[in-house]
Structure 1
């Protein structure tokens, strides 16, 4: 039986699968650009502008190749994106209520909760996806973001190709470099950033893979959590408790072990002890919506929300681990560096550049593996 953390991890893995589709497509697009740039790159010209004019004349062909690649990607990725969001939501349904019931040893209380769960499951199965839960809207937004990526990717391929040609031609005119040397330097600099042009609401510019990964992580992780919350609401359980993780960031740390309400208000509130049926006072830190606005459950967040049963549920202790949040971020930085060199390898037009890029990929991957091993981390994918 999966825990909420495992379900969120599974949701994030589905999001990564979609992002990997775009990473693969990005490499193919960069290879197409590099192949066009490398054509006749060593050929001497009486007219220095002849190579530049010939490459620009092939822009239409490159655009059609890119359109075919993006069209294939679009068909596969949209279906995968929608499925990942809906699957993540469905995985969250009912699991927390089941776990809560299993934690209760008092036979009378357990029987009462089992009856509540049975009624809730019947309600949930009849409705499949409860109106107003927003899962369909989450799926729609995820697919809509991918639409913007497809349009932006085609434009970015055009811009990148034009920039490489223009800068290469300009450098060759000085006579300091051969055309191949100049083209490789420009390609190395530009493709290290990836195919860019995707801007989020804060104005940050993303590369293709990172933007898709961010958008899909946000949608799928939220769907998994919302699936839990929908199940709990169906069962009449309003209060939830924030999980405790080994590597929490500054935004999430203050919320660990705190009690939140889905529909009520924060502060002290009277509840009933599920073990004794006696009155009990519960300190509610905030609503789920307020905690989210404050940063809890941000993209890449591994925290989950579980049913809080007054008198029974206790916050989990903080796991004692050798690593900290900074170590997890360093692993991700090393992985980003490896991906950056992977793009450079895809766009290499001379063997030395390709060998150097592949050596760097191995170096950064080895450093990430060593850090994971030393700190006892799990290698993020």
Structure 2
């Protein structure tokens, strides 16, 4: 059976949750180290907190090694699952037309290459830049120092007390998230969470689609049926439910449109980043297009509501992170964030009760903030 959007979410969440938990723990450690003690002067606070930078770096190196090891095991598993599922799905769809073929001899080599690419990207743009053994050069060390400098500037200006300036500065960084070190073509630096999620999601998608296409080629089948989704993104609305040719322009001899007309192969095209569609092998004259057709306006409206739900989920997670950090700081803003969380959860209930949101369900896992100890220290099941 094809990898569904829900299955893809489950695949990615296993790894992303590990890095989310690491991020929360980094901010908790920073808050704990920077929290002013007693009647310390600004200068005494600066000296004391800067002296603890190396300790934070060492603690996080230990936790990152746990995350890296456990995420590596999970990545190998999900990429392997995606690859073998692709082969089985193609064989299942074509078994009434063709005799079954043996598994490709190089399947494990192909899967290892996909896994290796993920490891390389995560290691280069997360693990190596997030924490380094060179004192003060890692992203976390730089962020720690910038929080100290920004807090100091606010206190010197006379606008804030040390406690209030620190609280405001740390919460701003918590809401911004830790940088991954990756900068896109638009000049935007991606957060750790966004980068890891995109890398894992893209790898699973690419593995499944590439092996599906390759397997169909072994049967000399190049036409596919694009699945239909009732709340499809605009980029895929024009090609869902259609029979498409997987070959490039000029080589699509089947008479069906080339999938490349819809941006296939590009991050923002069909089957690109965050695309929830799947391709099904289609033999003209044998198979039937059984995909449902959805009204465009209804589909756009459902997509809009789905995006509204995702936005609320992100806000709820952000507020929960603020609650964790204000608890660590002993801040009087804790009650404010608890009230805000209750309000956001009520907004979610109201949204899902609207008639136009009948296709949506509450997904508490998307709203959850995984705590470090819960995830990083639990035994493998």
The bucket for the TM-score relative to the shorter chain is 0.7 to 0.9
- 334-343 or 257-266, which deviates more: 257-266
Deviation at 1:25, TM superposition (A): 1.0
Give 1:283's aligned residue. Answer: 256
Which of 330, 333, 341 lines up with 1:350 in the alignment? Answer: 330
The SS at the match of 2:232 is: coil
**How does 1:132-211 map onto structure 2 within 5 Å?**
134-147=110-123, 148-154=125-131, 155-202=138-185, 203-211=187-195
Give 2:311's aligned residue. Answer: 333
**How does 1:187-336 map onto structure 2 within 5 Å?**
187-202=170-185, 203-263=187-247, 266=250, 269=253, 282-287=255-260, 291-293=264-266, 295-311=269-285, 312-314=287-289, 316-319=291-294, 323-336=301-314
Alignment length (residue pairs): 346
Distance 1:62 1:83, change over 3 A: same
Q: In the alignment, is residue 37 of structure 1 matched against residue 34 of structure 2?
A: yes
Q: Is the 8 A contact 1:241 1:259 kept in 2?
A: yes
- 79-88 or 211-220, which deviates more: 79-88
The SS at the match of 1:260 is: strand
C-alpha distance in 2, partners of 1:201/1:9?
27
The C-alpha deviation readout for 1:338-379, integer Å capped at 9, x for no partner, is: 222233223221342233333333433443344345312144
C-alpha distance in 2, partners of 1:328/1:117?
42
Which of 82, 89, 95 lines up with 2:83 in the alignment? Answer: 89
Q: Is the 8 A contact 1:9 1:302 kept in 2?
A: no
Q: Is the 8 A contact 1:89 1:224 kept in 2?
A: yes
Which of 24, 27, 30 lines up with 1:27 in the alignment? Answer: 24
C-alpha distance in 2, partners of 1:266/1:365?
52
C-alpha distance in 1, partners of 2:27/2:50?
16
Give 1:75's aligned residue. Answer: 69
Deviation at 1:194, TM superposition (A): 1.1
- 18-27 or 81-90, which deviates more: 81-90
Q: Is the 8 A contact 2:245 2:256 kept in 1?
A: no
Which of 14, 19, 26 lines up with 1:17 in the alignment? Answer: 14
Give 2:53's aligned residue. Answer: 59
Larger radius of gyration: 1
Give TM-score scaled by structure 2 length: 0.81
Give 2:351's aligned residue. Answer: 371
C-alpha distance in 2, partners of 1:206/1:359?
29
Deviation at 1:315, TM superposition (A): 5.2
- 255-264 or 82-91, which deviates more: 255-264
Deviation at 1:99, TM superposition (A): 3.5
Deviation at 1:265, TM superposition (A): 5.4
Q: Is the 8 A contact 1:240 1:260 kept in 2?
A: yes
C-alpha distance in 1, partners of 2:340/2:237?
35
Deviation at 1:314, TM superposition (A): 1.4
Deviation at 1:153, TM superposition (A): 2.2
C-alpha distance in 2, partners of 1:288/1:95?
25
The C-alpha deviation readout for 1:244-297, integer Å capped at 9, x for no partner, is: 111112211122133333347558746xxxxxxxxxxx4333459963337001
Distance 1:361 1:136, change over 3 A: farther
Q: Is the 8 A contact 1:195 1:207 kept in 2?
A: yes
C-alpha distance in 1, partners of 2:196/2:257?
35
Q: Is the 8 A contact 2:262 2:270 kept in 1?
A: no
Give TM-score scaled by structure 1 length: 0.81
Segments of 5+ residues of structure 2 without an aligned counterpart are: 132-137, 367-381
Segments of 5+ residues of structure 1 without an aligned counterpart are: 102-109, 271-281
Deviation at 1:37, TM superposition (A): 1.0
